[in-house]
Chains A and B, each alone.
Chain A
């Protein structure tokens, strides 16, 4: 068991290593280096030299990579070009803000998705299913920036219930944030919930048509007992991995949503750093976002490992 967990963690680390290579090589291969990109037309003479010196661009690429990678492992991402401050200081509050947004969305989204998925599966092709499924198709296909824009238009502008745009310093406290994040949370969890609910639905339907569920019915197990003991554990297990992938994929959507709501999180930092052509920050963001992706998948893998009796007994035997 321990060996398997270690193996999964190892694979995750390898993936991160490849990501770091990809981002580093990507930045190297694309035209212009960090300095010429950042300074644009002023990239000549003393300013350029100073920049090159500061970033250490005068040493060979592999040395720079090693240097950078070692620092990253130590938790130091170097200096931001535009802010002229350590990237860690730039990132800190942003990471916190995004975490708040993401975790609230996930905490609302996952239980809601499971409930909706189960309802639609159990009342398959009946009115509740048709209604919920139609809504989910709309909310999973419409881009975040559209749903976010519509939310602002309807809830904030027409109805005036909530602030449309978050105007907060990036180091706002948790409670200041909370009152402002309702609309962004709705925008993000809408698409996520829709995706997950559909997956839960089809997984439950699959299990419901299995031989062992038929057997449970023929054994005289009452309906809801059957649903909770025989169906759900088996239906939700394979859904864990898929849910993890969905969450990870939606990181991209978070970027857009944060921009629409002017929310001071990692997503907006992505846009800002790219607009500012601040390549060191972009590299740092790539690593962080990839780690989140790998981390979420790792958690899902481990959860499946712990919960699946098949895998469990396999390891005991070995």
Chain B
């Protein structure tokens, strides 16, 4: 058990900057992987975790080169091997499961061929045996109908299936070590939990060592025996999973864990100031100095070494780690939100809203016939109260963003009404809305790289709404811009910057400032934190909450992340295939009884705690279209009771907690089933 399979020693990897300076993105990394063990490497984007993982297969990306150190696989240095030697190791001894299998499978080759290729390269099986083996592998990763699956092209599979194919391909060579680079990122929550479960079973069955690289502590917590935490190209903390997750003794890990929103915890997570330094801008001293609340003057000038602490079996890179020992219970705290004011003014009402993407055929239009009986979004009734944060939750295809778009007037509704302030019907066509209504509803997008014009300075970006709605100019315009920047905690000097000169979190702050520039009543937030790193996400959530408390804005918050939603929202609406499943105050939606779909979603959430395992209650089938009649969740429901689910739309039932559930099962029965 204690045999070391791969050992990284003092590895540094870097590149030459345009100015000819040598910049390292991995600095003096050393770690050992033991036989049969799963090591989780965790870090935010830019921490060097993927570079480290690839180097462990002897692969250095183009433009990068090793500065010093070695990667010893069974005491041979992979970085010194010829490509011939590496071909014998890659896929046979060490295999990779990539982040985005959709892009990592060669598009012109059939699934069967790609697995067969690995078998031909790394086994001595003949054609017949290989064909049998392919079916076996596809079965093992639990893909439906392996016989036909082998003849399909990668693009014909869903994301989860593609990921399973990549797993099958990696297993073909019976490797000693499996490298997983963010294997579940980008998948839907339920699919993610299923793939993770599969990986865990494989690790147990085959005794393969695994290196699991991810930014997601939740996923890492589910699979790892040991965890390595990376920050700015260095290992800052390394030790047994349970120790790292429950008693982190490095301030970065501590802060990171605190900044993750958790299902078990109401209220907002604490945020860490600042963001990770970019390679090349790392100064002398501790790389975490700027963001650390334990930092002393000593840390500014001296960089700490990774020190092994025997009694904890943990290595840590911090001078002041002792202060964190035995502070662990603080991890389970959060910032309580001020509850929103109890006035029950309804500011926005969605009444029987249906939205269809299908184009009406010309003749149907003439005859005024409704051609689409099965629209993407159907029968949405939500009343949004002034000053509350209401969240729309669901997986991809749930119609949550579609609803947001039609509130913004970007997408016409097919049926139903959107009513704004005093039951005034708001046209679903943007051009028909009056300027004041346009001002009152603002949008913040998921990806600030896309939502900020790359050719405008921050000043130009923020002046757009100010000029449009308030006709500001000159000194007054400038004063307002500075005020807005101050509101989102950015300095005046950001005015002349272009988006590309800002970090992800800063960009999203500018996007928030632009929305608030209009002095809106309602802000529609479309997955606003999902493109951000965890520590930055917490800061943006806190900022949004703060602004809301100060200005009394109403948020409609769309997200796939149930923990984030739990942290920020007052009320939650759960959607499946464009239909509402459940709606209610957020503390109640997260309690049972729940709609079976909510139950599935809640079960699939990965918590950064090795003791809380996901509960997989439904298959992760991808449904492309909502069912024509009956309950929207009939195809995947683990609690389906019979034909009634297929034929009749379930009724709304209101539980004693005040959450409404749309299910054929009696709400009390649901409660007892879910105990």
Direct contact of A and B (CB under 8 A): yes
Residues of A close to B96: CB separation below 8 A: 215, 218-219
Contact flag A230-B153 (CB < 8 Å), given A217-B59, A220-B92: no
Partner of B98, one of A215, A230, A309: A215
* Interface residue A275 (Cβ < 8 Å from any Cβ of B): no
Contact flag A220-B106 (CB < 8 Å), given A209-B62, A310-B155, A313-B155: no
* Interface residue B564 (Cβ < 8 Å from any Cβ of A): no
Q: Which of A212, A230, A234, A313 has most chain B Cβ within 10 Å?
A: A212
Proximity bits, B76-112, A CB within 8 Å = 1, else 0: 0000000100111111100110101001111111000
* Interface residue B183 (Cβ < 8 Å from any Cβ of A): no
Evaluate contact between A210 and B103: CB separation under 8 angstroms.
yes
Q: Which of A220, A221, A237 has most chain B Cβ within 10 Å?
A: A220
Of residues 212 through 234 on chain A, the ones whose CB sits less than 8 Å from some CB of chain B are: 212-223, 229-230, 233-234
* Interface residue A211 (Cβ < 8 Å from any Cβ of B): yes
Residue in chain B with minimal CB distance to A237? B108
- For the complex, count residues of A whose C-beta is within 8 A of B: 23
Contact flag A220-B155 (CB < 8 Å), given A209-B62, A234-B108: no
Q: How far is the CA of A220 from the CA of B91 in the complex (A)?
A: 5
Residues of B within 8 A of A (CB): 54, 57, 59, 62, 83, 86-92, 95-96, 98, 100, 103-109, 117-118, 121-122, 153, 155-156, 166, 169, 173
Residues of B close to A233: CB separation below 8 A: 108
Contact flag A309-B87 (CB < 8 Å), given A220-B121, A220-B122, A221-B117: no
Contact flag A313-B156 (CB < 8 Å), given A212-B105, A218-B57: yes
Residues of B close to A220: CB separation below 8 A: 86-92, 118, 121-122, 173
Evaluate contact between A309 and B173: CB separation under 8 angstroms.
no
**Smallest CB separation, B616 vs chain A (Å):** 28
Residue in chain B with minimal CB distance to A208? B62
Partner of A215, one of B105, B121, B122: B105
Residues of A close to B122: CB separation below 8 A: 220
Proximity bits, A297-315, B CB within 8 Å = 1, else 0: 0000000000001100100
Evaluate contact between A212 and B106: CB separation under 8 angstroms.
yes
Evaluate contact between B57 and A222: CB separation under 8 angstroms.
no
Q: How far is the CA of A230 from the CA of B164 in the complex (A)?
A: 20
Evaluate contact between A229 and B104: CB separation under 8 angstroms.
no
Q: How far is the CA of A212 from the CA of B106 in the complex (A)?
A: 5
Residues of B close to A229: CB separation below 8 A: 106, 109, 117
Residues of B close to A234: CB separation below 8 A: 106-108
Evaluate contact between A218 and B155: CB separation under 8 angstroms.
no
Q: How far is the CA of A106 from the CA of B180 in the complex (A)?
A: 47
Q: How far is the CA of A309 from the CA of B110 in the complex (A)?
A: 9
Evaluate contact between A211 and B103: CB separation under 8 angstroms.
yes
Contacts A/B (CB < 8 Å), 28 sampled: A211-B100, A212-B104, A212-B105, A213-B106, A215-B96, A217-B90, A218-B54, A218-B90, A219-B90, A219-B118, A219-B121, A220-B86, A220-B87, A220-B118, A220-B122, A220-B173, A221-B117, A222-B87, A229-B106, A229-B109, A230-B106, A233-B108, A234-B107, A309-B108, A309-B155, A310-B107, A310-B155, A313-B155
Evaluate contact between B104 and A214: CB separation under 8 angstroms.
yes
**Smallest CB separation, B517 vs chain A (Å):** 39
Q: How far is the CA of A214 from the CA of B59 in the complex (A)?
A: 9
Residues of A close to B54: CB separation below 8 A: 218
Partner of B103, one of A212, A219, A237, A313: A212
Residues of B close to A222: CB separation below 8 A: 87, 121
Q: How far is the CA of A225 from the CA of B377 in the complex (A)?
A: 48
Q: How far is the CA of A310 from the CA of B173 in the complex (A)?
A: 28
Q: How far is the CA of A215 from the CA of B167 in the complex (A)?
A: 12
Evaluate contact between B87 and A215: CB separation under 8 angstroms.
no
Residues of B close to A218: CB separation below 8 A: 54, 57, 59, 90-91, 95-96, 98
Evaluate contact between B109 and A230: CB separation under 8 angstroms.
yes
Residue in chain B with minimal CB distance to A223? B83
**Smallest CB separation, A184 vs chain B (Å):** 37
Of residues 21 through 68 on chain A, the ones whose CB sits less than 8 Å from some CB of chain B are: none
Residue in chain A with minimal CB distance to B105? A212
Evaluate contact between B103 and A221: CB separation under 8 angstroms.
no
Residues of B close to A309: CB separation below 8 A: 107-108, 153, 155
Residues of A close to B91: CB separation below 8 A: 218-221
**Smallest CB separation, B82 vs chain A (Å):** 11
What 4 pairs between A and B have smallest CB-CB spacing? A220-B91, A220-B90, A211-B103, A215-B104
**Smallest CB separation, B126 vs chain A (Å):** 19
Partner of B153, one of A210, A211, A217, A310: A310
Residues of A close to B86: CB separation below 8 A: 220
Q: How far is the CA of A35 from the CA of B104 in the complex (A)?
A: 66
Q: How far is the CA of A297 from the CA of B106 in the complex (A)?
A: 27
Q: How far is the CA of A210 from the CA of B154 in the complex (A)?
A: 15
Residues of B close to A216: CB separation below 8 A: 106
Q: How far is the CA of A221 from the CA of B62 in the complex (A)?
A: 18
Q: How far is the CA of A213 from the CA of B62 in the complex (A)?
A: 13
Known A211-B104, A215-B104, A215-B166; 9 more pairs at CB < 8 Å: A211-B100, A212-B106, A218-B91, A218-B95, A220-B87, A220-B92, A221-B87, A234-B106, A310-B155
Q: How far is the CA of A309 from the CA of B118 in the complex (A)?
A: 21
**Smallest CB separation, A240 vs chain B (Å):** 13
Q: How far is the CA of A212 from the CA of B118 in the complex (A)?
A: 14
Residues of B close to A213: CB separation below 8 A: 106
**Smallest CB separation, B117 vs chain A (Å):** 7
